[in-house]
Amino acid sequence: MSGPMIGSRKFLSPTRLRLQLVFARASEALAETYQAQAAEFVRRLKSRLSVEEALQRYFHEVGVPAALEETVRARALISLAGLIESAPKHEPRATGWTGLRPDHMLDALRKRVQHIEHTNLECRLAGSISDEAVAMTHVRMALETAEVLADEVTPDEAIMHYIRTFNLTSIDAQVIFRRAMAQWAELHPLPDEARATLAQPSVKPSLELRSRTEFGLRVIV
């Protein structure tokens, strides 16, 4: 995903200005989301990767827009200042295999492979958390776009305009479009649905447990 690209569609002047404001807020919200998730990614991997290595892995696992990458990196480093300053200084370790018995070498190699596999898994899990947070930010801002354009286009057109503006990939676009449409439907129910919801009792009747005798059970002696 790249930065916002204002579409060529013509809207009324007041609406166009409000739309630019929403897109500016969306860019800032995305930068904040990426920064917070990058810092959490580093904290989650701190026992396996250094801060620098974890940040590199974050940008590899998560598709941070190129226009936001330096901003996200700088903000993440600032938020991680305490972790960086308190990190212990390790002496460089020898990586050679000289003098190791074959069985010890195989055991060390096996542990190394397991460590890499577990690290890769943790990176994928942390990356998935970040993707979910970014998607939620997109959905929230897509709904704001739909609110701004409510008098000019339908909600699905407004959401698609947001998706095209931020140049989302086809997979991300499908996820965000469905979630945004579902939330819009919940926030703006049809008149009949709203009346049906109001007609439902607000308090569910409590279920009382009855004794065995009330169920007609007989004790056989």
What is the per-residue pLDDT across 152-171, written as a single tens digit (0 to 9) for each? Answer: 999 999 999 999 999 999 99
Q: What is the pTM of this model?
A: 0.74
Distance, CA of 189 to CA of 142 (rounded, Å):
18
Report yes or no on 213 lying in a domain: no
Distance, CA of 177 to CA of 128 (rounded, Å):
19
Q: How many domains does the chain have?
A: 1
What is the per-residue pLDDT across 67-123, written as a single tens digit (0 to 9) for each? Answer: 899 999 999 999 999 888 776 555 555 555 556 677 667 777 788 888 889 999 999
Residues of the domain holding 60? 13-85+116-187
Report yes or no on 81 lying in a domain: yes
Q: Show the 3-state SS of 10-76.
A: CCCHHHHHHHHHHHHHHHHHHHHHHHHHHHHHHHHCCCCCCHHHHHHHHHHHCCCCHHHHHHHHHHH
Report yes or no on 77 lying in a domain: yes
